[in-house]
A and B are shown apart, each in its own frame.
Chain A
């Protein structure tokens, strides 16, 4: 594993281009585009205000930079650095901004979710979509980029509008039987749309592309419901993580539950491998210590090494029972992700924040549990193979694959608290992001297969 230098970063805004050639990062109001292999600065753009969001267009030719405070979106071109585009929402304000799948339209969500403005970079046309739903995942594009599903709310009722992305024609408009829609997501095959309700009610609805309701699933009543949802890459399974610390898997043929995964605090099954991160104090060679000590040496001295040990079953994990009378409690399954080959499902139970559970999808059984020293911040699967990268807010990055797991210390001077990471589309490298910096980590092909 090779680590690059540290570069400045702000607001964890660091994204790879879809074609994998460039890396865009933000420092305050500057947008820096680097080459992925040698991290040389290719382009440097200056925006009008502090950038809050960046996104690459699908053909990797344009980048949009959204500045919510000023209500401005600036678009930059890689081919022509002189080309500029500024979209000003003015008094309408700006809450969210994203590209359309063809890379030529920008969808701005104005303040108070008043409307969604569709700006076209090809023509002078502007479209408005009224009554968008004020929720986080209100817009969903199919994987092939042909259709867009938009959640709307009119007269205290939820609706879904399906648009054709090529000409923004409204294809279907139907109401949903939800109390308060909280998210929508397309299946990877683009034929089924999953719509789930607020956490106060466990309900998930499955609609076909032409607007027909295929099935409804509700596991229980009254208690807090769905927290996270993930489709398997083959569209065969839909994993639903809920506040009762369980993940339920629905199959795509009957849309009925085929199994549920529990996340108890004690693991007793001897067939499950539990990796526990242990600290090991570094060996200090007193002869080679110089005075005054060099900076690198000092940080190496005080940084704690860690490694994974296999714990003997039964293992009891650290269970946190949060305060019961607060909204949005940190309980239940907060993170869910399928591996790209559809073999594994990684989950995180917010009641046990230090552990990641990896399930074998073929056998529908728990496979591995990773117990970290600190709370897991983020995990992400390698886009090409079943390899999971994890960061827990300390200066290490952890990798798991079916062959084993490894804990890698990021060899940087000073503090390098990894808060987030993102994989390159080839799976050969990833970017590790901290509050103020980022660095690239290049993985060799033979390592950690």
Chain B
């Protein structure tokens, strides 16, 4: 708009006069002066703005201000404020347009200013931040440089120490070596000295020996009452070449005896070990799949033509009596074959291991899958079988138990039947006994009465017998014979019971009747038997009855 110059301006009141002065200097505008005033003065802007707005254009200088404005606007590119046809006439439309344009421009400028200010602030903060970072990084660099220096220093020190220690170690080793050398040299020195001293000592001994021998000391003697016989009773023999030879022989015999014994022990041990190896071989062969039997033969062939005559024995050798031979080749064969079998077994086991691991990892190999499926099927089948077997076993067990129970029940029933039968029999017997007893009682009573009567008769007949004893006899005989059947029966029964006395206790009578009755009734046979051997059962039954 114009150059801002700092020119002191008189008071506002005199502003009307000034415009002339001001317009002489066209480059300056009163507005600018007032603007400066406004800017310098501490008055609030709104007021100053108002004052400013009023300060620029008053009623007096309208034309000037319009022309000034027009000039300014045209220089800025805006259309002229004046109308086209007539000069010095204000085109209101263009004025309004210009104003709007100026407003828009003002707004744009304000926005731009805002943006610029924001960016400025941002840049300022970025700058601060970067400065801080820079400062920090510089610090870090410093510290790390210092550290490096420190570490380098330490490294150097450690290297020094290491070197020192190596040196020390070397020194120590040297010392050890030296000491060992010293020891060796001292040992030799010592041995040498020892030998020297020993030689001296031997010389002394020799001398002493001479002295002792020369002295012919009578004291050195043995004084014995009588010589003792030898242990084995024989006389001492002269030492001749023959005895020497015999001694040698003896010695060798002893040695040979020792060696033979040891050899026997070793043979036994060998035999055992060979047996064990054979067993192992057999077991290994049984473990492996039965394909590779040939390599055994081949191994024997592989030993070479040296064993051409042994090949025939080779088949034999693989049989049971192998351990009777103990030559080198047999041993080799055995060990080779065992090694081979062991290798095959190992391979087999490794294969199985691989299979198992592959199966675990789930790789789909046709043969493996099939084998696994087969395996699973097999296991399922087996499990089913096991289940079935278990069930069968259970049912069988139950059946057996039932059987047992049935058996028991049947037996029990039988026994019960028997028992009941026997009970019935027993009842019958008892009844018959009681009847018999009653009968017997009655019979006895009758017998007693008869006897009483007979005695009375006898007595009477005896007293009046002197007259007619014959009569009595006959009567007695008659009475004996003319008695009714009852008496006869009684007599007969009396005969049957030879030792039956009136004072016999009833139980005995009963027993005797029981014993005699067997002749008559077969029931009593049964009764006897039953009484003898069914008593326990009956007791049992009774017991049972009691317990029940």
| Contact bitstring A15-38, B, C-beta under 8 A = 1, else 0 | 000000000000000000000000
Instruction: Tell me if A's interface is mostly helix, strand, loop or mixed.
Output: loop
Which of A86, A122, A208, A209 contacts B230, CB < 8 Å? A122
Alpha-carbon separation in the docked complex, A90 to B225 (Å): 19
Chain B residues whose C-beta falls within 8 Å of the C-beta of A210 in the assembled complex: 251-252, 255
Query: A320 contacts the other chain (Cβ, under 8 Å)?
Result: no
**Which listed segment binds B: A1-9, A113-121, A354-362?**
A113-121
Could you tell me if A91 and B230 are in contact, using CB atoms closer than 8 angstroms? no
Q: How many A-B residue pairs have CB under 8 A?
A: 110
Chain A residues whose C-beta falls within 8 Å of the C-beta of B220 in the assembled complex: 88-92
Could you tell me if B222 and A86 are in contact, using CB atoms closer than 8 angstroms? yes
Most buried by A among B183, B194, B255: B255
Could you tell me if A191 and B254 are in contact, using CB atoms closer than 8 angstroms? yes
Chain A residues whose C-beta falls within 8 Å of the C-beta of B219 in the assembled complex: 88, 90-91
Query: A82 contacts the other chain (Cβ, under 8 Å)?
Result: yes
Most buried by A among B208, B229, B243: B208
Alpha-carbon separation in the docked complex, A196 to B230 (Å): 35
A85-B222, A91-B212, A209-B255 known; A156+B195 contact, CB < 8 A: yes
**Which listed segment binds B: A164-172, A332-340, A411-419?**
A164-172
Query: A179 contacts the other chain (Cβ, under 8 Å)?
Result: yes
Chain B residues whose C-beta falls within 8 Å of the C-beta of A166 in the assembled complex: 247
Query: A136 contacts the other chain (Cβ, under 8 Å)?
Result: no
Alpha-carbon separation in the docked complex, A90 to B214 (Å): 13
Could you tell me if A122 and B228 are in contact, using CB atoms closer than 8 angstroms? yes
| Contact bitstring A71-99, B, C-beta under 8 A = 1, else 0 | 00001010000111111111110000000
| A180 nearest in chain B by CB position | B194
Could you tell me if A104 and B228 are in contact, using CB atoms closer than 8 angstroms? yes
| A222 nearest in chain B by CB position | B183
Closest Cβ of chain B to A253, distance in Å, is: 7
Query: A189 contacts the other chain (Cβ, under 8 Å)?
Result: yes
Alpha-carbon separation in the docked complex, A102 to B230 (Å): 8
| Contact bitstring A140-155, B, C-beta under 8 A = 1, else 0 | 0000001100000101
Query: A103 contacts the other chain (Cβ, under 8 Å)?
Result: yes
Alpha-carbon separation in the docked complex, A253 to B263 (Å): 10
Chain A residues whose C-beta falls within 8 Å of the C-beta of B450 in the assembled complex: none
A104-B230, A112-B205 known; A123+B250 contact, CB < 8 A: no
Could you tell me if A167 and B247 are in contact, using CB atoms closer than 8 angstroms? yes
A88-B219, A92-B212, A123-B227 known; A169+B254 contact, CB < 8 A: no
Alpha-carbon separation in the docked complex, A126 to B220 (Å): 11
Could you tell me if A191 and B227 are in contact, using CB atoms closer than 8 angstroms? no
Query: B217 contacts the other chain (Cβ, under 8 Å)?
Result: yes
**Which listed segment binds A: B161-169, B231-239, B302-310, B536-544?**
B231-239
A89-B220, A90-B219, A91-B219 known; A191+B258 contact, CB < 8 A: yes
Query: B224 contacts the other chain (Cβ, under 8 Å)?
Result: yes
Query: A190 contacts the other chain (Cβ, under 8 Å)?
Result: yes
Chain A residues whose C-beta falls within 8 Å of the C-beta of B195 in the assembled complex: 156
Which of A88, A114, A121, A167 contacts B221, CB < 8 Å? A88
Could you tell me if A91 and B222 are in contact, using CB atoms closer than 8 angstroms? no
Query: B244 contacts the other chain (Cβ, under 8 Å)?
Result: yes
Closest Cβ of chain A to B224, distance in Å, is: 4
Closest Cβ of chain A to B168, distance in Å, is: 24
Alpha-carbon separation in the docked complex, A146 to B251 (Å): 9
Chain B residues whose C-beta falls within 8 Å of the C-beta of A104 in the assembled complex: 228, 230-231
Could you tell me if A208 and B255 are in contact, using CB atoms closer than 8 angstroms? yes
Closest Cβ of chain B to A95, distance in Å, is: 13
Query: A124 contacts the other chain (Cβ, under 8 Å)?
Result: yes
Chain A residues whose C-beta falls within 8 Å of the C-beta of B202 in the assembled complex: 155
Which of A59, A102, A121, A222 contacts B227, CB < 8 Å? A121
Chain A residues whose C-beta falls within 8 Å of the C-beta of B492 in the assembled complex: none
Chain A residues whose C-beta falls within 8 Å of the C-beta of B228 in the assembled complex: 62, 77, 83, 104, 121-122
Could you tell me if A102 and B231 are in contact, using CB atoms closer than 8 angstroms? yes
Closest Cβ of chain B to A155, distance in Å, is: 8
Residues of chain B touching chain A, judged by Cβ–Cβ distance below 8 Å, are 183, 191, 194-195, 198-199, 202, 205, 208-209, 212, 215, 217, 219-231, 236-237, 239, 243-244, 247-248, 250-252, 254-255, 258-259, 262, 266
20 chain-A/chain-B pairs, Cβ below 8 angstroms: A75-B224, A82-B225, A85-B225, A91-B215, A92-B212, A92-B217, A114-B205, A114-B212, A121-B224, A121-B228, A146-B254, A155-B199, A156-B198, A164-B251, A167-B237, A167-B239, A167-B247, A208-B255, A210-B252, A222-B183
Residues of chain A touching chain B, judged by Cβ–Cβ distance below 8 Å, are 59, 62, 75, 77, 82-92, 102-104, 112, 114-115, 119, 121-124, 126, 146-147, 153, 155-156, 164, 166-167, 169, 171, 179-180, 189-191, 208-210, 222, 252-253
Given contacts A167-B237, A180-B194, 18 further A-B pairs with CB under 8 A are A86-B224, A92-B212, A104-B228, A112-B208, A114-B208, A114-B212, A121-B224, A121-B227, A122-B236, A123-B227, A156-B198, A164-B251, A169-B239, A171-B251, A189-B258, A191-B258, A210-B255, A253-B262
